[in-house]
């Protein structure tokens, strides 16, 4: 992944970064699906699993029988109420007819109608008795419905009591299951972080660096983002502690890398100009010159000053003269910009072809 000034290489490099992001996106999708499905490895336990089986079965059977009796009593009560209403209506209609007939008889005063009076009175009494029987049936069904509802309430209270006694054991089992699932997820994501750290140290500049960086992005996302919705109350401590550990290790690595880089620069600056130029990559030198810094020590240098041919900080040659036309040119150029002649001898970068 060396720096380059070629436009095509820049765009190709950007395309490889896009490949790394796409690869990371697919890995993130796969990892999210896997992390989300991990709870399926644990059997889902219900509150009933921790209740007394015999007592629970008996209470549920009582509840079922009570609910069945309640429905039957409710249906019978509706029928009894309809019969009571019909009996009351019949009695009321016959009572009004009897009252009208009785008023007519009192007006006419006809003794031959005394037998009919007795019969009508007896029929009216029978209708009244039927109405009372219907009322008693309604009362009986109301009592049956009340008894069934009370039985159902008692069974419900029994189940609630059994549930309360099993609540603590059920909650503890749920906490244990959550802990196991959390450890499963942690056992999946922590190795990903370890592999990503190894790849960052060893392979981030290798041939397959887009896939390496894609995996690194995936591992960081899986641990610090994808894992968050599934963390128990104490899971945040693990995430923050791992983050602190990674920060410390990464900071330590960066500090040591900086110190080693400075040591390499000091060692290079002590070497002869020719040796330093041979070890310096051609594209790297051009990229640093384009930024206005010395290719050898990376310190700022006024490259537009025609009087500066050597770096005032490390002494490496910055400009020389073409062997063919004597034009002043960059000491790192392979060809003269004035006549196109190839650089010769120590002016030519022996390992700088790209």
Query: Tokens at residue 289, please?
Result: 């010159």
The position carrying tokens 């309640």 is 70
DSSP 205-256: TSTTHHHHHHHHHHHHHIIIIITGGG--TTHHHHHHHHHHHHHHHHHHHHHH
Average pLDDT of span 240-246: 78
At residue 348, the pLDDT reads 43
Q: What is the pLDDT of residues 225-240, one digit of tens each?
A: 776 665 665 556 666 7
Average pLDDT of span 144-163: 84
Average pLDDT of span 177-191: 77
Q: What is the pLDDT of residues 255-275, one digit of tens each?
A: 887 788 778 777 776 777 677
The position carrying tokens 């037998």 is 115
H-only helix segments in the chain:
7-37, 53-108, 114-202, 209-221, 235-269, 273-279, 282-290
Helix (H, G, I), strand (E, B) or coil at 316: coil
Average pLDDT of span 11-29: 83
Q: How far apart are CA 92 and CA 109, in angstroms?
A: 25
Average pLDDT of span 50-76: 81
Q: How far apart are CA 82 and CA 138, in angstroms?
A: 9
pLDDT, the chain, mean: 77
Average pLDDT of span 69-89: 83
Q: What is the pLDDT of residues 287-326, one digit of tens each?
A: 888 888 888 888 888 888 888 888 888 888 888 888 888 8
Q: What is the pLDDT of residues 121-132, one digit of tens each?
A: 777 777 778 778
DSSP state of 39: G
Give the closest residue to 151 by CA, choosing from 217, 275, 63, 37: 63
Residue 214 has pLDDT above 70, yes or no: yes
Q: Say if CB 151 and CB 66 are below 8 A apart.
A: yes
In this prediction the pTM is: 0.44
């Amino acid at each position: 992944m060396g720096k380059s000034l070629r436009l095509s290489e820049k765009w190709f490099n950007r395309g490889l970064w896009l490949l790394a992001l796409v690869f990371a996106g697919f890995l993130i999708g796969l990892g999210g699906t896997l992390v989300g499905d991990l709870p399926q490895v644990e059997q889902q336990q219900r509150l009933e699993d921790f209740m007394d089986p015999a007592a629970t079965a008996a209470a549920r059977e009582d509840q079922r029988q009570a609910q069945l009796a309640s429905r039957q009593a409710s249906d019978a009560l509706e029928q009894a109420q309809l019969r009571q209403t019909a009996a009351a209506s019949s009695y009321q209609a016959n009572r009004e007819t009897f009252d009208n007939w009785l008023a007519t008889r009192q007006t006419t005063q006809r003794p031959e109608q005394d037998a009919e009076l007795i019969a009508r009175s007896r029929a009216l009494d029978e209708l009244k008795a039927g109405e009372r029987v219907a009322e008693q049936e309604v009362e009986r069904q109301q009592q049956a419905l009340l008894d069934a509802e009370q039985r159902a309430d008692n069974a419900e209270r029994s189940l609630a009591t059994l549930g309360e006694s099993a609540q603590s054991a059920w909650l503890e089992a749920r906490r244990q299951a959550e802990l196991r699932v959390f450890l499963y997820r942690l056992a999946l994501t922590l190795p990903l972080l370890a592999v990503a750290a190894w790849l960052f140290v060893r392979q981030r500049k290798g041939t397959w660096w887009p896939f390496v960086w894609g995996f690194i992005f995936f591992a960081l996302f899986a641990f610090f983002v994808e894992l968050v919705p599934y963390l128990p109350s104490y899971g945040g401590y693990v995430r923050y502690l791992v983050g602190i550990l990674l920060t410390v290790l990464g900071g330590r690595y960066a500090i040591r890398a900086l110190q080693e880089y400075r040591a390499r620069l000091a060692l290079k600056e002590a070497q002869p100009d020719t040796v330093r130029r041979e070890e310096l990559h051609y594209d790297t030198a051009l990229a640093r010159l384009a930024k206005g810094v010395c290719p050898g020590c990376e310190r700022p240098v006024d490259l537009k000053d025609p009087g500066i041919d050597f770096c005032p900080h490390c002494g490496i040659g910055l400009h020389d003269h073409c062997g063919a036309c004597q034009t002043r040119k960059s000491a790192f150029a392979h060809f003269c910009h004035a006549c196109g002649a190839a650089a010769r001898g120590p002016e030519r970068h022996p390992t700088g072809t790209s």
